[in-house]
Amino acid sequence: MKPIATVFNQNLYEKDINNLLPKVINKKDSIALVRGIINDWAVKQLLLKKAEENNSIKDNKEIDQLVLEYKQALLINGYKEKLIKQQLDTMVSNEEIEEYYQKNSSNFRLNEELIKVRYIHFPNDLLDKREVVKLFKRGKIDDLEELEVRQLSFKFMMLNDSIWSPTENVLLKTPFSREILLKKTKFLQKEDSLGVYLIAIKDVLRRNSVAPIGYIKSTLKQVILHQRKLELIREIEKIILKDAVQNKSFKIN
């Protein structure tokens, strides 16, 4: 097969660049793109040659050692990941998460403020505005269920104040200031040209407080799985070493 370009003793063939070309391209663009690919390849080969000529034997040995270590690391890590995928138990129970949290909760501090909040935003011309305000203000289960039924009349709403929400998310949705949101407030109402806003803040957690378990449950699961992974790797390494000693593949002279 005849090469389409040669630099010193290195050849570039048509098959080497076919996969780099778009499936649909006009002839003029194709010629320009091929020329660019060829030039890029030539520059790379020329720079590589110059680098090899200007490197000392020591430099080349160090590079060879780095390449060898990188190859070994890729092979070893690939093998470990394969074993981990086969053997790692990825099921984490709520009991395990709870136990880990109780032992390590002080390590999980908030870097943001959280609030338990419910809020509604609806148009200024809402026909049953007074009724909506009354239902929201009372906030009983039946009242909130009634508001759920009417949700298509609202621009947006969040009525589940049993979960923690980042304050930043609520700031984006409502015109209330951070100072107001970080105070426990049973009911606040505000109107502007965009509509009416109702808000009630049930609880607040400041920065650096211990993060609630429900808010970091997925993080806790990942931490537990990571620890299992490390323990499994250590166990695999022990077994491999033990087997090597037993079958005399490894010995200390």
Q: Mean pLDDT in runs of 10 for the chain (253 residues)?
A: 89 85 77 89 92 83 91 94 92 96 95 96 93 95 94 94 95 94 93 95 96 95 96 93 88 80
pLDDT recorded at residue 57? 78
Same domain, 134 and 175: yes
* Tokens 């690939």 found at: 78
CA distance 78 to 80: 6
Contacts of 19-26 with CB under 8 Å at 24 or more apart are none
Whether residue 252 is contained in a domain is answered as no
Whether residue 130 is contained in a domain is answered as yes
Whether residue 25 is contained in a domain is answered as yes
Same domain, 219 and 101: yes
3-class SS of residue 112: coil
What's the burial of 104, exposed, middle or buried (CB within 10 Å: 0-12/13-18/19+)?
exposed
* Tokens 């091929």 found at: 34
- With contact defined as beta carbons under 8 Å apart, do 250 and 244 qualify? yes
Number of domains in the chain: 4
pLDDT recorded at residue 122? 95
- With contact defined as beta carbons under 8 Å apart, do 121 and 155 qualify? yes
3-class SS of residue 212: coil
- With contact defined as beta carbons under 8 Å apart, do 200 and 115 qualify? no
CA distance 220 to 197: 35
How far is CA 249 from each of CA 75, 93, 240, 252, rounded to the nearest angstrom? 19, 40, 10, 10
CA distance 206 to 214: 16
Same domain, 114 and 200: yes
- pTM of the full structure: 0.72
Whether residue 253 is contained in a domain is answered as no
Same domain, 35 and 153: no
The residue segments making up the domain with residue 184 are 110-205
Same domain, 198 and 119: yes
